[in-house]
Structure 1
Amino acid sequence: MFQKILIANRGEIACRVMRTAKRMGLATVAVYSDADARAPHVLMADEAVRLGPAPAAESYLRADLILDAARATGAECIHPGYGFLSERESFARACEEAGIAFVGPPPGAIAAMGDKIQSKKLAKAAGVNVVPGFLGEIESTEDAVRIAAEIGFPVMMKASAGGGGKGMRLAFNESDVREGFEAVKREGLASFGDDRVFIEKFIESPRHIEIQVLGDRHGTVLYLGERECSIQRRHQKVVEEAPSPFVTPEMRRAMGEQAVALAKAVGYHSAGTVELIVSGADTSGKSFYFLEMNTRLQVEHPVTEMVTGLDLVEEMIRVAAGEKLRIGQDDVRLDGWSIETRVYAEDPYRGFLPSTGRLSRYRPPEAGAGVRVDDGVVEGSEVSMFYDPMIAKLVTHGETREAAIDAQVEALDRFELSGLGNNIDFLSAIMQHERFRAGALTTGFIAEAYPEGFGGVEPGEPLARHLAVVAVLATLMRAERDAAIDGQLGSALRPSRRWMSQIGERCFDIAVSGDGPDRAVSIDGAAAVRAALDWRFGEAMARSTVDCEALWMRIAPTLRGAAITTRGKTHEICVSRPRVFELSRHMIAKEPPDLSRFLICPMPGLLTQLHVKTGDRVEAGQVVGTVEAMKMENNLRAPKAATIAAVHASVGESLAADFVILEFA
């Protein structure tokens, strides 16, 4: 076994690998860029080596610097994590030539599976189902239009070396192909250094299901069940679970055996994932097709670990050291259900625009009892524009799928995160959605469930009543605290016992009796029920119980009541005494400013294209420019037919979110 391991990555996955390495007794070496000099993964390691400036191309993607760091520290092996150099055949080969063990598959397997066109040919030869499509190189847009028409719309255009949702476009007609083909080529070149594109049939009602494989250097390859990864946005996974609610034991075996056959065909060892697209419209379970093989550890590997009881990082290290797998296929068991949600720095209320900044507050739910948090940040950490916007992975486990989902909802309610936009409300909304809970999933779930965008989860009547009571209890606690500070008043004040609590358009008449944390409350004249609020004034997190129903939440006192965040939304609740209620409920809100005559940059990014100038006439929906953010191209369209009155930005400029790019007359 090795004595020292270098982790050629950053953030959450670097911390994840280190935890296992330390448990195994291995010394750890971190590498870092200038942006990560004080990052948790650096502080966690036994040694740390600076690579270079913040941009990944000058630091984490410099294979030569990483190998120098391994030599200088005496690291015998390198774990690449995921992303960066993890699927670079050249890096695995360079490690091999330097006499440093690469904790991953052999270079030949990476090369074979890294090319999406070649990998599909190999999969077909190995007896694996493949999606109908064109696997050759496509020279021009006109060729792409012709090929797409021959396959039959809709089709998916993909960068051959793509991954992580980058370099992909769905085309429903010829116009979509013409608009998207060149964009796919550019994204492929920018992200992967390869502008080749292939086209394949888009599967109707598609489900994204993947098989975890694990092999050693002695010819043994196992499949460890499946993961359902259908909940995606722009082809980027948001929620993953194991097992899948769609997969039967017979289907699992068929998919697993095909995945093992492919792995053996390319001489695979270590952990890897065979990704499949499955037709949810075919209940026979036979319509599954090979998408690609990820020759690395997957972001979503924790759900497999939770249901199998295996530590995949440990198995990868042992395989790299030449050990045989300690289990056989018959030893693989799936225990219960596990769900993972990815907490991203993005604002779901503004079209999921990327968010950057400092985590002014970061307190994830406590791990244990079926809750796991994989992260690489702490309170005060900065989420920069240079790297992936994922903040943490929240993983729950339960005996049943329903139990795992309920655990997610509660854990998300307990997740304190502020300082930048985040998607916690959105993740909670998904967990509560009837369609998700029923397991009726497709890769189009988010677009179909939220066609008008995300605006938070509106509370049902029971939740609204619960929150109305909590807002009153919080107001009482504030009033009682103020009353206790009576040095300047001369005598203590006794807070009112009857309140009006308004949430949205609903208003509740609430009477409170008793003192202390446990009180009796009557809502709209009904029989009194017990209510309690465990909350320390000045803190955010609280736990309430109303009529035996418990709820975790975050409370922020306001001038008119309280802002309570729970169950996928921040609820602004107005609390007032009955005599001022009529006045407060009719207060007139200010009208928002009219911004329709401006084209505003939706996110921090680089303006790569601008197709108009002052005086040009544009039509509604016309693409007027392109902003690149986190290696993804985002087309900016005119919201209406108009004339360009002024242009305030130039191609090549780095723009802040909400920067006014141009004005319409």
Structure 2
Amino acid sequence: MFSKILIANRGEIACRVIKTAKRMGIATVAVYSDADRDALHVEMADEAVHIGPAAASESYLVAEKIIAACKETGAEAVHPGYGFLSERASFCEALEAEGIVFIGPKPKAVRAMGDKIESKKFAKDANVSTVPGHIGVIENADEAERISDEIGYPVMIKASAGGGGKGMRIAHSRDEVRDGFDRARSEAKNSFGDDRVFIEKFIVEPRHIEIQVLADSHGHCIHLGERECSIQRRNQKVVEEAPSPFLDEATRAAMGAQAVALAQAVDYQSAGTVEFIVDRDRNFYFLEMNTRLQVEHPVTELVTGIDLVEQMIRVAAGERLAIAQDDVMLNGWAIESRLYAEDPYRNFLPSIGRLTRYRPPAEISHSDAVIRNDTGVFEGAEISMFYDPMLAKLCTWAPTRPAAVEAMGLALDGFVVDGIAHNIPFLSALMRHPRWREGRLSTGFIAEEYPDGFVPEEPSKDALAVLAAVALSAELLRKDRLDRFADRVAPHNGALRRDWVVRLGDVYLDVAVIDGMASMPLELDVSIGGADPVTITTHFRPGDAIWNGTIDGRRVTAQTRPVLNGIRVDWQGYSVTARVLTPRLAELDRLMPVKQAPDTSKLLLCPMPGLVVSIAVAEGQDVKAGETLAVVEAMKMENVLRAERDLVVSKINAAPGESLAVDAVIMEFD
């Protein structure tokens, strides 16, 4: 077994590998760029080596710097994580030439399967079912248009190298092919250093289901069941689960057999994933093979009890798998939610800045519930524009899918992140979405259910009652605490009065306190909006970020943040500003004027902090609705900004190569 390994990655996956290595008694070496000098993975490792500037192309993607770090520290092996150099055969070969072990498959398998074009050719020759398409490099946009016409729309334009949703575009018509081809090539080059793309048929209403394989160097290969990864946005997975709510035993067995056969055909060694597209009739087609550890591997670990990182290390050290196919049992249900630094209220645009608060729910591991949080950040950390925006992977396990979904909802409601925009409100709302709960999924789920981006639905009557109960109890406890600290009698500020009005946004709810005292722990019987009385219980203390308690016997976890004259309550994707008022104050409050938002219709604002890639128009130019105005890159993704209406460009305020803050004015219109 190795005595020291280097992790050629950053963020949560580097931390994840370090945890298993430490448990195995293996020393670890981290590498870091200028932007990651104070990162969590650097702190966790036994040693750390600086490898260059913040840009990945000058640090994490430079194989020579990784090898130099191995020589400097005496690391015997390298775990690549995912992304960066994890699927680059030349990196594997360079390590081999230096006598350093690559913790992953051999270069032959990486080359055969890591390249999306070559893997499809190989799979076709091996009689694995593949998606119809053009298996070959597309040289230019003209050729892309011709091939797309032959395949039939819609088509998927996809980078040959890499993954993670980078370098992928869907074209529904000939008009969309050229721009999609250019954007896919540009993203692929920036993310993977390889601008080759191919085109295949895009299957309507597909489900993305993948099989985890595990193989050693002694000819032993098994599969560990499937993961459903259909909840995606811009081809980037957002929520994954294991097993799939869609597969039956026959389909699972057939997909597993094909995945194992493909792995054996390339003499695969290590953990890998064979991805399939599955249609509504459970017909499945080979999509690609990822010759690395997948982002979503924790859900497989939770339902099988197998540590995939440990198995990768043992296989790389030459050990035989101690697990037979018959030993693999799928136990219970696991769900993973990816927490991203992005603003769900602004079409999920990236967000950067400092994490002023970062408090995940407590990790637990019991026979009936597991909460696991794989993360690479901490409170006070800086989220930069240079890398993937993922903050953490929150996972829950329970004996059944409904229980795992319920556990995820509670865990998300208790996950506190401040300082940047994040997608927790969206994930929390998703957990109560009827279609998600029923398991009626497809890769188009988010686009279909949220066509205009994430706009929280108006709270139902029951939801308003929960939000009002949280706000009322928190405010009464605050008033009681102030009185006790001031050594005054509580009734002086009305803490024990029986009639209140809770304002939630524009909704006013009359609340009557029927029984109970405003003291900790709190137990109140109240009537909200004239409904039957409910009992509120909580150990909440003023200043707590999390409100935990029960409302009419229902367990509730919500977040509270103080605002001027009230609190903000976040629960299940709802976010409301709540004010607890006396009836007279509520009467006056209704008379207050509403501040109007400024008119920005004649400005193009930068929607996220990012780098201006190109300006597509000139001053004085007439532009039609839908035409490209500018392209801004943030966190390795290119975002095309288009005109929302016909207009004339009067002034351009930004230039290509310029870094802009959110809401910076890019151009002005007449």
With the shorter chain as reference, the TM-score category is: over 0.9
Alignment correspondent of 1:422: 422
Aligned partner of 1:390 in structure 2 is: 390
Pair 1:550-2:555 in alignment: yes
Which residue of structure 1 aligns with residue 52 of structure 2? 52
Give matches, 1:199-214, under 5 Å.
199-214=199-214
Contact 2:83 2:162 in 1 (8 A): no
Distance 1:494 1:658 in 2: 43
Contact 1:30 1:41 in 2 (8 A): yes
Matched, 1:292 2:297: no
CA contact (8 A) 1:138 1:196 kept: yes
Greater mean deviation of Cα atoms: 353-362 or 636-645: 636-645
> What is the rounded CA distance, in whole Å, between the counterparts of 1:597 and 1:255 in structure 2?
53
Q: How far off is 1:477 after superposition?
A: 1.6
Aligned to 2:329: 333
1:307-456 maps to which residues of 2 (within 5 A)? 307-369=303-365, 370-456=370-456
- Give the distance between the partners of 2:279 and 2:531, measured in 1 at CA: 51
Amino acid across the alignment from 1:245? P
Separation (CA, whole Å) in 2 of partners of 1:156 and 1:396? 32
Cα distance in 2 for partners of 1:104, 1:643 equals 54
Alignment partner of 2:601: what SS? coil
Contact 2:341–2:352 under 8 Å retained in 1: yes
Given that 2:480 and 2:490 are in contact with CA atoms closer than 8 Å, whether structure 1 keeps it comes out as no
Change (3 A) 1:68 1:549: same
1:492 Cα deviation after fit: 5.7
Task: Classify the secondary structure of the residue corresponding to 1:432.
Answer: coil
Cα drift, residue 463 of structure 1:
2.3
Deviation string, structure 1 residues 412-456 (Cα, Å, up to 9, x no partner)? 011011010000000111111100111111111001111122122
SS at match of 1:522: strand
Deviation larger for 139-148 or 15-24: 139-148
> Structure 1 counterpart of 2:572, which letter?
R
Instruction: Say whether the 8 Å CA contact 2:339–2:424 is kept in structure 1.
Output: yes
Between the aligned partners of 1:491 and 1:578, the Cα distance in structure 2 is: 16
Are the aligned partners of 1:484 and 1:492 in contact in 2 as well (CA < 8 Å)? no
- Contact residue 354 and residue 419 of structure 2 kept, 8 A: yes
1:131-142 map, 5 Å: 131-142=131-142
Shift of 1:562: 2.2
1:605-635 Cα deviation digits (max 9, x unpaired)? 2222212222111111111221122232221
Give matches, 1:177-576, under 5 Å.
177-280=177-280, 282=281, 285=282, 287-369=283-365, 370-486=370-486, 493-495=493-495, 496-512=497-513, 513-515=515-517, 516=519, 517-576=522-581
Distance (Å, rounded) in 1 between the aligned partners of 2:271 and 2:330: 17
The CA distance in 1 between the partners of 2:656 and 2:35, in whole Å, is 26
Does the CA contact (< 8 Å) of 2:124 and 2:130 recur in 1? yes
Contact 1:483 1:494 in 2 (8 A): no
2-structure distance, mates of 1:243, 1:431? 17
Displacement after TM superposition at 1:555 (Å)? 1.3
Distance 1:557 1:629, change over 3 A: closer
Superposed, 1:22-41 pairs within 5 Å as: 22-41=22-41
Contact 1:499 / 1:510 at 8 angstroms: preserved in 2? yes
SS of equivalent residue, structure 2 residue 569: strand
SS of equivalent to 1:314: helix
* Distance in structure 2 (CA, Å) of the matches to 1:312 and 1:218: 18
Amino acid at match of 1:463: A
Q: Compare 58-67 and 147-156 and name the one that shifted more.
A: 58-67
Q: How far did residue 124 of structure 1 move?
A: 0.8
- Aligned position for 1:119: 119
Alignment of 1:163-178 (within 5 A): 163-178=163-178
Greater Cα shift, 250-259 or 600-609? 600-609
- Counterpart of 2:437, as a letter, is R
- Per the alignment, residue 103 of structure 2 pairs with 103
Distance 1:38 1:661 in 2: 33
Deviation at 1:494, TM superposition (A): 4.8
Please state if 1:580 is matched with 2:581.
no
The answer to which of 533-542 and 354-363 deviates more is 533-542
* Distance in 2 of aligned mates of 1:487 and 1:325: 69
Amino acid at match of 1:503: L
1:100-145 C-alpha deviation (Å, 9 max, x unpaired): 1111000111011122111101001112100111112323322221
Q: Retained in 2: the 8 A contact 1:409–1:428?
A: yes
Shift of 1:656: 1.7
Q: Alpha carbons of 1:20 and 1:510: their partners in 2 closer, same or farther (altered >3 Å)?
A: same
Deviation at 1:74, TM superposition (A): 1.7
**What's the secondary structure of 1:451's corresponding residue?**
coil
Of all paired residues, the percent bearing the same amino acid is 58
Q: CA deviation at 1:290?
A: 0.8
Q: CA deviation at 1:490?
A: 13
Distance 1:301 1:490 in 2: 54
Whether the 8 Å contact between 1:127 and 1:258 is mirrored in structure 2 is no
In structure 2, relative to structure 1, the CA distance for the partners of 1:485 and 1:195 (3 Å cut) is closer
How far 1:270 sits from its partner (Å)?
A: 0.1
Q: TM-score, normalised by structure 1?
A: 0.96
Aligned with 2:656 (options 640, 651, 660): 651
Whether contact under 8 Å (2:84, 2:192) holds in the other structure is no
Which whole-Å CA distance do the structure 1 matches of 2:491 and 2:435 have between them? Answer: 57
CA deviations on 1:134-168 (whole Å, 9 max, x unpaired) are 11232332222121111111111112224111111
Whether the aligned pair in 2 keeps the contact of 1:226 and 1:252 (CA below 8 Å) is yes
* Matched-pair contact (CA < 8 Å) for 2:8–2:81: yes
Change (3 A) 1:490 1:325: closer
What's the offset of the Cα at 1:276? 0.8
Distance 2:161 2:534 in 1: 61
Which amino acid in the other structure matches residue 129 of structure 1?
S
CA distance in 1, matches of 2:644, 2:494: 55
Give the partner amino acid of 1:98: E
Question: How far apart are 1:504 and its partner, in Å?
Answer: 4.0
Asked if 1 retains the 8 angstrom alpha-carbon contact of 2:155 and 2:201, the reply is: yes
AA at the equivalent of 1:52: G
1:223 maps to amino acid: H
1:480-527 residue CA offsets vs partner (Å, 9 max, x unmatched): 223234469999655332101132454322122321211222334555
Q: Which residue of 1 aligns with 2:615?
A: 610
Give CA-to-partner distance per residue, 1:253-303, whole Å, 9 cap, x none.
1111111111111111000001111112x2xx2x21111110000000000
Gaps of 5+ in 2: none
In structure 2, do the counterparts of structure 1 residues 367 and 491 end up closer, same or farther at CA, with 3 Å as the change threshold?
Answer: closer
Residue 624 of structure 1: aligned partner: 629
- Checking the alignment, whether the CA contact within 8 Å between 2:299 and 2:335 is kept in structure 1 is yes
Q: In 1, are the aligned partners of 2:364 and 2:371 still within 8 Å (CA)? A: yes
Aligned mates of 1:478, 1:541 — CA distance in 2: 14
Partner of 1:362: helix, strand, or coil?
Answer: strand
CA distance in 1, matches of 2:127, 2:603: 55
For residue 317 of structure 2, what is the amino acid of its counterpart? A
Q: What does the per-residue CA deviation read over 1:546-570, in whole Å, with 9 as the maximum and x for residues that have no partner?
A: 2212211111233443211111121
* Inter-partner Cα distance in structure 2 for 1:414 and 1:367: 12
Contact 1:553–1:565 (CA under 8 A) maintained in structure 2: yes
The answer to whether the 8 A contact 2:387-2:636 is kept is no
Give 3-state SS (helix, strand or coil) of 1:396's partner. Answer: strand
Alignment map for 1:69-108 (pairs within 5 Å)? 69-108=69-108
- Segments ≥4 residues shifted beyond 6 Å: 487-491
Distance in 2 (alpha carbons) for counterparts of 1:466 and 1:160: 49
Q: Is the 8 A contact 1:535 1:541 kept in 2?
A: yes
Superposition RMSD in Å? 1.7
The unaligned stretches of length 5 or more in structure 1 are none
